[in-house]
A and B are shown apart, each in its own frame.
Chain A
Amino acid sequence: MSDTEHQPAGSPAAGSPSGPARRHPLRLALPGDLPGPFRRSFWRSPVRGPWLASVLGLLLLGGVLVLFVTGLLSYAAYNPDLSPVNDTTPGKGWLGFYLFSWPTRPEWLYQVNQGLHVTLGLVLVPILLAKLWSVLPRLFEWPPLRSPAHAVERLSLFLLVGGGVFEFATGIMNIQQWYVFPGSFYTLHFYGAWVFVAALAVHATVKFPAVIRALRSRGLLRELRVSTAGTRQEAPDASPLVSPAPAAPTISRRGVLAFAGAGSLALLALSAGQSIGGPLRRTALLAPHGQAEGSGPGNFQVNVTVAESGVQARQTGASWRLILTGPGAGRPVTLTRGELLAMPQVSVRLPINCVEGWSTGDQEWTGVRLRELARLAGAEHPANALVESLQHGGAFGRVVLSAGQVSDPDSLLALRVNGADLSPDHGYPARVIVPASPGVHNTKWVAGMTFAS
């Protein structure tokens, strides 16, 4: 309890002895008088300090850079510049400066990119939590604002922490299909990432000298040999992170790093199988698409069912026609499913790779090459192809494929999978398969294609 509480507020001088022990009640409290977390001695961990914060910060920085690059690549994989139909963030402006036409080779490109993005995002959660733990006393710094420069730094930290937690939270919620965020996931996660990375870039730059200083203060290899009993706190004057009243250590710095690493390892081991597939899928006990697939030809995972799509059975029955429109003035070509099956059939083994990080593993798709269909519609070298689904209202009911995607010999309008007709949930009567493309660009329940020259 502060001694100033005995005085009537507003009359500091009335009858009270003057001197250094008695302070004006309205003046900013000195650190020793502050309540709870604002008092530096409130924070008691002996391992908290610039060294641990720097090591965790560097780990997180490296990981987030990979997340950022794979995230940008994932956006490029939708070919948003090809057509507004493909663009989930049409207002991006300069933020799409790097876009390029997404290739179809190597065919594992999107699977690896997206598996890495999502799995690494999960793996970094404990590193993020440990990093935030290691610097939390900073939130309660006193005085809260020392100078305009300090105010600017703290504002950027709000964007850094807010943006970081926001990006991780929206990503993790999206892969569990818990859509409670304010708007489209694509918009939030894309622009949120730029806010986060802007704040991270300046934070890393400003903190760089302090990080170097902290890392030099105790070598990593030497520190990794120190047990709990031998753990000493860093010099108290080195940083406000170092407690002036440390408790006895219950864990070493090596222990904290191993602790966070064990968290990362647990998340990795229990989720990576959904991206890698095969026998490892069963190890993904805590991942949305880790459940074993059945043995039938259509028993692999989907993310939109025919019931959800609103496509009716009467639309996909005998009356279904594929309508191919070419660049010329000629009439559209109309094909029945029987006519498509009578055309030269090609089989390819390709997976479905979802933006949510999981993949189905290779399936054997059989159907007609997209470039054959383009030729039929009178487009020898189409510049692009608009694929339209019977599905209405869905975000990806219409998709534009690039010239490279249409002309790839493995790009099919698939009619069968694993030796059987497509099941309704897998897109009967016909679906698109394009190597290395995001799952949502492998349009199901295709109604027509329009080729541009």
Chain B
Amino acid sequence: MRALLRWYGASPLHLLAFLGCFGLAGYAAARLVPSQPLGIATWFLGAVVGHDLLLFPLYSLADRSMAAVIRHRTAELPALPWLNYLRVPAALSGLLLLVWFPLIVRLRTRYQASTTLSPSPFLWHWLAVTGALFLLSAAALALRIRTLPSERPPHTCRLGRRGR
């Protein structure tokens, strides 16, 4: 028994907790999967791959590109977290697009036929909100620059390097 547990690598309680988890998940999955095994497996796997290997690399790449641009443009500017004034509105706009893209890009959905509502305003709403977010961010940055202590000489920005 002791050798078995050493092989397992954790306490028996650990094993029991996970058996409970797989028992419940299996019970639910047995009611879900047989109807469309391939489709449902694809969707579960697709959910993991879609986030971890698609969405995450894409937004990381976008973030690092932004950081690289800022790093090359701010040599003569005061030290401020410039990156976040670009990063935050861009990310919020991207988040809204991620959630509402079926309506924003007008995918072929049942929306118009079912609700009698037009999907055409959503693109404009999203663009307007995006514009407002960048304007707000620019205003916040302008305010920040104005309130910088004037006696301090501008020095090279060291921020905006790789990573967060």
Contact = CB atoms under 8 A, between A and B. Distances in A.
Interface string B87-128: 110011001101110111001011101111110011001101
A178 B45 contact: no
B61 interface: no
B91 A263 contact: yes
A285 B129 CA distance: 9
A9 B31 CA distance: 49
A302 interface: yes
A266 B88 CA distance: 12
B31 A165 contact: no
Contacts of B117: 288-289, 291, 301
Contacts, number: 229
A246 B55 CA distance: 23
A35 to B, nearest CB: 15
Given A93-B31, A194-B24, A305-B114, A248 B161 contact: yes
B47 A152 contact: no
A47 B51 contact: no
Given A45-B163, A153-B18, A288-B103, A198 B25 contact: yes
Contacts of B1: none
Contacts of A270: 96, 125, 129
A177 B40 contact: no
Interface centre among B98, B117, B122, B164 (most CB of A within 10 A): B164
Contacts of B110: 177-179, 308
A426 B161 CA distance: 58
Q: How large is the interface on B (under 10, 10 to 19, 20 to 34, 35 or more residues)?
A: 35 or more
B109 A266 contact: no
B20 interface: yes
A202 B103 contact: no
A89 to B, nearest CB: 7
Interface stretch (A99-107, A250-258, A343-351): A250-258
Contacts of A256: 164
B159 interface: yes
A201 B24 CA distance: 11
Interface string A41-55: 000111110000000
A132 interface: yes
Nearest to B94: A263
B29 interface: yes
A365 B77 CA distance: 64
20 contacts: A44-B163, A158-B44, A162-B44, A166-B43, A177-B109, A183-B36, A198-B22, A199-B21, A202-B18, A243-B163, A250-B81, A250-B84, A250-B159, A259-B91, A263-B91, A285-B125, A285-B129, A286-B103, A286-B129, A291-B121
